[in-house]
Amino acid sequence: MTVRWYRLKRTYERPHGGFLAIGPRYPGVLSDDGVVVLFTHPGDAQWTEVVLSSISRRRPKSRTGGGGGTS
């Protein structure tokens, strides 16, 4: 399991009591079959949220030597 940074797409519908929001990047783990991403709340490891991988996108790798891009 490798933790990677993901950002949710605008099609994500936050469940009642969910902690994820559209915009910020969150650390998550992609399932072995690539269907879902498991996110764990940074302040409480017992609080998790599972999202279909089709509505989350992995942060692109940063380029070296370039000017600062926008997030």
Per-residue model confidence (pLDDT) at position 62: 52
pLDDT at 66 over 50: no
**Could you tell me what percent of the chain has a pLDDT over 70?**
80
At 42, the amino acid letter reads P
Q: What share of the chain is helix, strand, coil (3-state, %, to 5)?
A: 5, 35, 60
State pLDDT tens for residues 25-53.
888 898 898 888 888 877 777 778 888 88
For residues 24 and 12, is the Cβ–Cβ distance under 8 A?
no
Q: What is the mean pLDDT of the chain?
A: 75
Per-residue model confidence (pLDDT) at position 70: 47
